[in-house]
Amino acid sequence: MSALELQNLTKYYGEDLGIEGLTFDVAEGETFGFLGPNGAGKTTTMRLLLGLIWPTRGTATVLGRNIADGPPVRERVGYLPGTLRLYENLTGQEFLNLFARLRQRDCAKQIKALSSRFDLDLSRHIHDLSKGNRQKLGVVQAFMHEPDLLLLDEPTSGLDPLVQREFAELVRETTARGGTLLLSSHVMSEVELLTDRVAILNLGRLVLVEHISELKARAVRTVELEFPAPVDSSKFENLQSVREVTTHRNRMMCKVSGSENELLRLAVDNNVQMVITHEPDLNEIFLGLISTGAA
């Protein structure tokens, strides 16, 4: 069953495009990466899924319910916005208690456990908290009622590496109990670590939805070859998967997209002595897709 289903979801603000034609689904228990540059439409999509704004056209279901259902949907969702607005005059404890009452849930046990886990002093007023501690408070708020679905917009912004690691463990625990996460982040290493599939948006439109392993497999990467003596590079340039070849003495650098099998067979035929594949990271792939106007 899908936790999220979007079908041609579109939002215009007057004549200005928010998102257009978004169609994808997220399975229950999946951590799904939601990527795009600033202004791509990620926040608009999350607000639509929460029923905070209305689509211009298209439909979406959240945990089997239409987004028009509003409050019953939000009761089962945890949301951490990218821009966190807090009640400055409240203590952290008062802030979390307020959200627990709004959700009509007894969250005392989880509040205590999560605040201890993230070393968060809830007795302090919010106006005295650092950026990192404010973000911790937002994370606790999103997770404390053990929601079935979490919409997280830049959840580790301002968190130090140790806290980011603890957050990653919390995400794994959430999916292990059957929870689903839609995770937007500019920290590509985090997305690569936590998610199996990603959607990439650009200028309000969907560029692709793909498993990270498949995305990396067809991305351009560099294969470095070393031979006993210089070899004829033209044979390598004619291979279907090879985009570019450069040579220096008995070394060859091949830019490859897709399968490396043909390249490796030819390299073996030429008595290759060393093969090193330089895999692109998700950040390089993302920037390449956006810069080439893949949308």
Q: How far is CA 152 from CA 50, 78, 176, in A?
A: 12, 8, 17
Q: Show contacts of 131-139: CB within 8 Å, 24+ apart.
A: 131/158, 132/158, 132/159, 132/160, 132/163, 134/84, 134/86, 134/158, 135/84, 135/159, 136/163, 137/86, 137/92, 137/95, 137/96, 138/80, 138/81, 138/84, 138/86, 139/80, 139/114, 139/167, 139/170
This prediction's pTM: 0.82
Q: Which CATH number fits domain 220-279: 3.30.1360, 3.30.70, 1.10.30, 1.10.3470?
A: 3.30.70
Query: Is 259 a residue whose pLDDT tops 90?
Result: no
Query: Is 292 a residue whose pLDDT tops 80?
Result: no
> How high is the pLDDT of residue 213?
84
CB neighbour list of residue 17: distance below 8 Å, 6 or more residues apart: 41, 203, 204
Share of the chain above pLDDT 90, in %: 79
pLDDT digits (tens, 9 = 90+) for 45-66: 999 999 999 999 999 999 999 9
Domain boundaries, the chain: 2-214, 220-279
> How high is the pLDDT of residue 210?
93
What CATH architecture is 2-214?
3-Layer(aba) Sandwich (3.40)
* E strands in 157-267: 180-184, 197-202, 205-211, 221-226, 242-248, 251-256
pLDDT digits (tens, 9 = 90+) for 167-214: 999 999 999 999 999 999 887 888 888 998 999 999 999 999 999 888
